[in-house]
Structure 1
């Protein structure tokens, strides 16, 4: 049975109403531009932002780069503080909550859609740049040397976005890929290692889980999405993580349940039905088997 998402998944056209305090004041942008790509200086819009932003997902990837100030944002259930000369990279469909930005904040925000890169092989971004992966650390520190190049690229992307003429998406895609390569150079050596085919399929499975966990809660559903057999999917996950595909599916269900327990106003019985289509007692047994706590005990921790 299909179940509606309880944590909202925001498309580009939804973002203005979600981020800004009033619908009377919003940045004016072309719908065509905004669909695929958006960039702005944070300080130009900061006073109109409404913090904290509640848990949500986006259909686009986004980057926050700070030149000054600090911010606190979550990826999944983990919270991260970041500051000047650091960026926060959030892959599409990842659960996030944005708690705060300091009053003196300066920097850039941008989002972009995979559709900007039709010329790239499937899964190229995820396989080439580790920060696109759901499990990666979202905070990346930028060296003094690289700051010059990264800030130039962000300013150039902003200039293209603000140009009143028709936006050259091919040029935007080229600058974005250059930006990704500059960011990649800043990663510690252990975060750059080339991964094998097992790992790549496992990452595709994780990405699919993030997108479809409400509607699809069986491993066989995901093997169909990836066009491989359930046995081969399980083999890939086992070789990459020493866990089973079912383990990762259960982990995603648990993450979703934890997020709803922590941030939503839903009762435990409502989460049991809306997320799992189960009785509260069955949900409680599942949750305790995964976390060591009942849903009620987990709630009391917060």
Structure 2
């Protein structure tokens, strides 16, 4: 799977703009230009000097319709992507492809760098999507999100980001061909620093566990039993469970429940579906069982969680 436009509503550019403006008010108005629906870039330090990060809505799972990345030049961040948590600091990029669930758990107030999001269509006017994802694996759904560069390469990359920022701030005069060219140049500079899962670990249990996590992210609405995933991965349910347990300390069923919970939180906060409808989507559960499951994991009922995170729904 690369990326998917599933039927679950998400934060599109307009909703993301509303979210940021509701957080920072008029102070963030200057962050947005007519190009924002297709491309956006801003300095992290300009964001954190206005508000304490992460915000209340940041620490809950959300999904964007846009590809996005941050480049941290100072400070540290703790973020999730799917079921994995990543802590990173200086000289590091963190990529999140469109439609993948992410959470911003924490970040230092001295953080500096860049945040950028873009519509993939900006790049595919010159690239076939298949070739684009092959050339730049960090844009793939379920990719390994971190790319750490050297100080020498940072000196080459910063002018690219500064040029993107300058063009973006041109407003009505912003040229998409310039944005496209500099983004592709940036991604090309990052390619030598890309790590694959196989380079991170040759352990077979680790490999199977990572494949299982990716399968959960892709098929959680279709499969809610361990045997289905084990069959997909070509292993027995017992072997899958042993692999997951040895790598994470959790059972395969624990991870399945974590993914169910992630998707449920997104549905509660980014859609107007009723709790009963969400229960049905997440495996056709009886409402009472669904509420009991959610409360056992969060300490509150689904409706209470929705009201806390997004009172407008």
TM tier relative to shorter chain = 0.5 to 0.7
Residue number in structure 2 paired with 1:107 = 113
What is the root-mean-square deviation of aligned Cα atoms in Å?
A: 4.1
Which of residues 29, 34, 38 in structure 2 aligns to 1:27?
29
Residues 99, 300 of structure 1: alpha-carbon distance in 2 compared, 3 angstrom cutoff:
closer
Residues 153, 22 of structure 1: alpha-carbon distance in 2 compared, 3 angstrom cutoff:
closer
Q: Specify every segment of 5 or more residues in structure 2 that has no aligned partner in the other structure, as ranges.
A: 1-5, 201-210, 224-230, 241-252, 301-313
- Distance in 2, matches of 1:152 and 1:22, equals 28
- Distance in 2, matches of 1:79 and 1:135, equals 13
Q: Give TM-score, length-normalised by structure 2.
A: 0.65
- Distance in 2, matches of 1:300 and 1:11, equals 27
Residue number in structure 2 paired with 1:75 = 81
- Distance in 2, matches of 1:36 and 1:179, equals 17
Using the TM superposition, give the Cα deviation of residue 31 of structure 1 relative to its aligned residue in structure 2, in angstroms.
5.2
Residue number in structure 2 paired with 1:40 = 42
Residues 300, 89 of structure 1: alpha-carbon distance in 2 compared, 3 angstrom cutoff:
closer
Q: Is the 8 A contact 2:69 2:117 kept in 1?
A: yes
1:1-302 superposed matches below 5 A: 5=8, 9-20=10-21, 21-28=23-30, 32-49=34-51, 51-52=54-55, 53=58, 54-117=60-123, 118-164=125-171, 166-188=173-195, 217=222, 242=234, 256-260=259-263, 271-279=278-286, 295=293, 299=297
- Distance in 1, matches of 2:263 and 2:135, equals 32
Using the TM superposition, give the Cα deviation of residue 261 of structure 1 relative to its aligned residue in structure 2, in angstroms.
6.1
Q: Specify every segment of 5 or more residues in structure 1 that has no aligned partner in the other structure, as ranges.
A: 193-202, 219-236, 285-293
Q: Give per-residue Cα distances to partners, 1:129-168, cap 9 Å, x unaligned.
A: 1111222221111112211112121111111111245111
Q: Give TM-score, length-normalised by structure 1.
A: 0.67
Q: Give per-residue Cα distances to partners, 1:188-214, cap 9 Å, x unaligned.
A: 47569xxxxxxxxxx9xx79x75x976
Using the TM superposition, give the Cα deviation of residue 169 of structure 1 relative to its aligned residue in structure 2, in angstroms.
0.6
